[in-house]
Structure 1
């Protein structure tokens, strides 16, 4: 079942991980072992959570990598469903 308009995982990272720990983007990026630019793109919804980033987040915040990938999948799928009627797809059925 699709969540209604799920937040981008970057929003979750910012609100539930960085803000409570009073971490800057620079500090968090350093701890995650990624560039500030990479983390900023995720936090601002311009990039998604890759499997490797999911593992990094799971280590840093004591979560599961699956939870981060599931959030990204829910976000991506909800957005794709918003354009379902625009897709030029024919239904295939057995004869």
Structure 2
């Protein structure tokens, strides 16, 4: 078996009261192919599995204001690295 391929999609918006929320869809795909040979006969077997999960995270605007600086400090290195790796 090989390691599964994992990927996700995220969407950020606000609810009707203006509170921020993040919706995420996560997927994992695992594919396996086995070939068995006995004398002149070859047998093959394929297996594919798809797993998925979804979630929505939300907070009030007051909660966001309280943690805004901490969140910004946490993601800043990733944003800088992403921008540095852009092929412009």
- TM-score category of the 2 structures, normalised to the smaller one: under 0.3
Give the strand-richer structure, 1 or 2.
Answer: 2
Which structure would you say has the larger RCO, counting Cα contacts within 8 Å and 6 or more residues apart? 1
> TM-score scaled to structure 2, two decimals?
0.22
Give the helix-richer structure, 1 or 2.
Answer: 1
> TM-score scaled to structure 1, two decimals?
0.21
